[in-house]
Structure 1
Amino acid sequence: MNLRALLDHAVAVLTTARVPSPEADAELLVAHVLGVSRGQVQAQVVTGASVDAEQRHAVLELVERRAAREPLQHLTGRAAFRSLELAVGPGVFVPRPETELVAQLAIDALLAVPGGSPRAADLGTGSGAIALALATEVPHAEVVAVENSPRAYVWTRENATRVGASNLRLVFADLADALPELDGTLDVVVSNPPYIPLGAIPRDPEVRLHDPEAALYGGADGLDVVRAVSATAWRLLRPGGTLVLEHGELQGADIRALLDADGWRAAATTRDLLGRDRATTALR
């Protein structure tokens, strides 16, 4: 079958299913099956390349699953995050592009620590995305990644092994009482906790049906785990250390008030590239 015809069919199916980015997803699924990059798929289309029956069948099967709103990252087994390619699948939260801003805020705080080896912890690390970004982009830092979900921890461990950051340590523990041996010694604590209120249902089927509930919902007001992160970070950070929290676009004011009440200083909310409140930072 002609590759262009296969791609056109895939785009049509995904468009009908209202998948948000049908052209990109179709090209990425074909690239996955063919074992090439998306750019190489585009080049092969221009040169009139064809696919064999087995490849066609594999692409069509993946397209149908994507049309049913199974996450693209589950189908390919990969998610891009900053300079990293992470392994993901059922049981772990798929890292989002907006979380790259959260990682950047934590990286900037680490780089601002004078001398020596700055120390950071990522509470509720999931796939390890933020922790691995810190460890690879600030190689002189010591980073600890904390996760309490057995299903997610499998992916955390796989990604740590794949990336091979020797300055990263994994800890299987609940974030509420994690790392007592590090009390008062860390420079940065970062977290992307579950922050969706229990009564709020995510619009996207990929999130609603496939992301683990423990990574989504944060109690009646969405802030239960944020409160736990605030308490743990207060315990772990040295005076002057930085807390970085991801949250929903309508939660900035509530989180600043929560942090102010807990004794944090200089709480400030940063907007993402779409102009939505995305992360709040504060000083111990």
Structure 2
Amino acid sequence: MADAAHDIALPTLGEALAWARQRIDPLDARILLAHAARVRTATLLAYPERTLPEEAWRRFRDLVTRRAAGEPVAYLTGEREFYGRTFHVSPAVLIPRPDTETLVDVALAVADQRAGAALRILDLGTGSGCIAITLALELPHVEVVAVDRSRAALLIALHNAQRLGASVSFVESDWFSRLGDEHFDLIVANPPYLAEDDPHLNEGDLRFEPRQALVEQHEGLAAIARIVAEAPRYLAPGGWLLCEHGYTQGYAVRGRLLDAGLLHVQTWRDLAGHERVSGGRKRCPNE
């Protein structure tokens, strides 16, 4: 097989995959080939002798070149799985990550403690909408409101909600700024929490993701500090605030939650064992 892509005239699926594996990660190659050829990844293994159509071969060469230059697979395919569902994404939003599923797990556990109650949930900085939409689908009897200051992100979130059949109200707002005097039983947030000099910003997918959704001042804690300080005003009595954060920030976030007067302050770990989500509950009048 010739080394140059243009020297391969309509390769088979197996030949195209072998060519790509010389340039990018084998798993990425399978995902991108399935996307370009519009087939399931299982088809690549079952029918390696099948000829790749010319248009699909052209698309695949372009995707491999872009992936070799570092572009995230999720942006190249326009989708990423989160909590067992496929969400559409673009460079306007963060790529959903398994770490954030921890936030959903904790939110579902908190909601389960109040089973039967008419709960209102607020998702701050919704991005692709993966958190809000997942909660709305997992808890079909609750009311979910999601905010983001980026109109481009909200359009993607709205599209995901419509496609997945989730009932979510979307509001263009810089955190709480346009929520008036509304109150919620649960507030969840995955705000930017990387420091401006975090070396990870120059690595992998982070190089291509929206910086305003990743980076904050004061060692990455500025947005979290603002959310924690303002949240009690928007929490109903007994309501919970849950924030995702960096794995070294648990101690600092717990301190801010305590300073805000929240009770039962604690931190939950992700599947890798890292401190990932911290939260607390607003005091009830009789406490």
Provide TM-score, normalisation by structure 2: 0.89
CA contact (8 A) 1:110 1:119 kept: no
Please state how far the C-alpha of 1:97 moved relative to its aligned partner: 1.5
> What does residue range 121-136 of structure 1 map to in structure 2 within 5 Å?
121-136=122-137
Partners of 1:52 and 1:124 in 2: CA distance: 41
Larger Rg: 2
Partner of 1:245, secondary structure, is strand
Provide closer, same or farther for how the CA distance between residues 260 and 116 of structure 1 changes in structure 2, counting only shifts above 3 A. Answer: closer
Within a 5 Å distance, the mapping from 1:53-68 to structure 2 comes to 53-68=54-69
Q: Does 1:28 align with 2:31?
A: yes
Q: Is this contact kept in 1: 2:257–2:279, CA < 8 A? A: no
Deviation (angstroms), 1:92:
1.2
**Displacement of 1:41 after TM fit?**
2.5
Q: Percent identity?
A: 36
Gaps of 5+ in 2: 1-10, 283-287
- Deviates most, 48-57 or 26-35: 48-57
Equivalent pair of 1:110/1:141 in contact (CA under 8 Å): no
Give the aligned CA root-mean-square deviation in angstroms. Answer: 1.5
Residue pair 2:125, 2:146 contacting (<8 A) in 1 also: yes
Q: Classify the secondary structure of the residue corresponding to 2:232.
A: helix
Stretches of structure 1 lacking an aligned partner (at least 5 in a row): 15-21
Query: 8 Å contact 2:129–2:161 — kept in the other structure?
Result: yes
What residue in structure 2 maps to residue 281 of structure 1?
279
Aligned to 2:250: 252
Could you give the per-residue CA deviations for residues 75-125 of structure 1, whole angstroms, max 9, x where no partner exists?
Answer: 111111113211111211111111111111112212221323211000110
What does residue 5 of structure 2 align with? none
Query: Partners of 1:203 and 1:99 in 2: how far apart?
Result: 21
Shift of 1:203: 4.4
Partner of 2:7: none
Of stretches 106-115 and 214-223 in structure 1, the one that deviates more from structure 2 is 106-115
Read off the aligned partner of 1:134 and give its amino acid letter.
Answer: L
User: Is it true that 1:13 corresponds to 2:23 in the alignment?
Assistant: yes
2:12 equivalent to 1:2: yes
8 Å CA contact 1:270–1:278 kept in 2: the answer is: yes
Instruction: Judge which range, 134-143 or 221-230, deviates more.
Output: 221-230
Give distance in 2, aligned partners of 1:44 and 1:11: 18
Task: Work out which of the residue numbers 39, 42, 45 in structure 2 matches 1:42.
Answer: 45
Q: Which whole-Å deviations, capped at 9, do the CAs of 1:134-159 have from their partners, x for residues lacking one?
A: 00011011100011112212212221
Runs of 4 or more off by more than 6 Å in structure 1? none
Q: Which stretch of the first structure deviates more once superposed, 250-259 or 155-164?
A: 155-164
Q: Could you say what secondary structure the match of 1:221 adopts?
A: helix
Q: CA deviation at 1:73?
A: 1.0
Partners of 1:92 and 1:7 lie apart in 2 by 29
Residue pairs, 1:1-284, within 5 angstroms: 1-14=11-24, 22-45=25-48, 48-166=49-167, 168-183=168-183, 186-201=184-199, 202-208=201-207, 210-284=208-282
Compute the displacement of 1:44 (Å).
2.3
What one-letter code is carried by the residue in structure 1 that aligns with 2:36?
V
Count of matched residue positions in the alignment of Structure 1 and Structure 2: 271
The change in CA–CA distance for 1:148 and 1:62 in structure 2 (over 3 A counts) is: same
| Displacement of 1:204 | 2.2
Q: Could you tell which deviates more after superposition, 50-59 or 1-10?
A: 50-59
Please list the CA deviations of residues 9-59 of structure 1 after superposition, one character each: whole Å capped at 9, or x if unmatched.
212201xxxxxxx122111111111212222323223xx323133322211
| 1:79 aligned counterpart, secondary structure | strand
**Contact 2:14-2:44 within 8 A present in 1 as well:** no
